[in-house]
Amino acid sequence: MDRKQYTNLAQAWQYVEDHARAAQSPELRDVRSSAEESGLPQSSAAQAAFLAMLVRMTCARSVIAVGTGSVVETLQLASGLNGEGQLTAVDSSTQGIALVRRAFDRAQDSTSTKLRAVNAPAHVFLPRLNGANYDLIVVSGDAGNYATTFAQAPRLLRGHGAIVFTDVLAFEDSTVHGGVPDPADRGEKATAMRELIEIVESDERFSSTLTAVGTGLLVAVMN
């Protein structure tokens, strides 16, 4: 791939991202602004929109969102449920959970989706959930969320359920020095994501694919 192709890809990513941001509702834009003002940087708008579409494509009715301040993604997942089903939001940040609850409170008259919002680390809360009860799990945020959640996924997911890991290229890390594609980046998240990719792709219980959506998605479906 030559330099022109790399430039075209960068321009394509920016165009798609700008398009997705422009398509967001004023309410979602306000949520993004509030989260970022609270010190919770939000992920790619195109990635969040893709996750909402994935909920619709899989006809998911019970979704778990594990994140660290991933407010916009969580609300986009809720929108994918089309006013039905249940969303379980697990967030170790008190600000993130508070913003999710506030947004749901404002939407109570327009949705029947049930929200269970829990301020707790993933490794503490996920083992308490009933098994074989969820269609989709989305993991974001701190490096520690990923392997912990994947360890619980075979128990939590229904047959052919899916788990999606966002920012799997580790570009959102504040200490990033090239992320997963740069072998010289030995930061916590880049290292954890390299290990995660290897673990997920070698697990015979799942079929998986790595995509360049947003800052990298790893999608794994139970066989």
Q: HEC states along 177-204?
A: CCCCCCCCCCCHHHHHHHHHHHHHHCCC
Taking the CB of residue 74, how many other CB atoms lie within 10 A of it?
31
The pLDDT-based confidence of 33 (bands split at 50, 70, 90) is: very high
DSSP letters spanning 81-112: TTT-SEEEEEES-HHHHHHHHHHHHHTTTT--
| C-alpha Rg value of the chain to the nearest Å | 17
- Percent of the chain topping pLDDT 90: 76
Q: Name the architecture of domain 3-222.
A: 3-Layer(aba) Sandwich (3.40)
- Whole-number pLDDT of residue 62: 98
- Whole-number pLDDT of residue 176: 63
Q: What is the pLDDT of residues 99-157, one digit of tens each?
A: 889 888 887 767 889 999 999 999 999 999 999 999 999 999 999 999 999 999 999 99
The domain ranges of the chain are: 3-222
The pLDDT-based confidence of 7 (bands split at 50, 70, 90) is: confident
The amino acid sitting at 11 is Q
Residue with tokens 């994501």: 193
- Whole-number pLDDT of residue 175: 63
- Whole-number pLDDT of residue 1: 66
Q: Structure pTM? A: 0.94
- Whole-number pLDDT of residue 93: 87
- Whole-number pLDDT of residue 78: 92
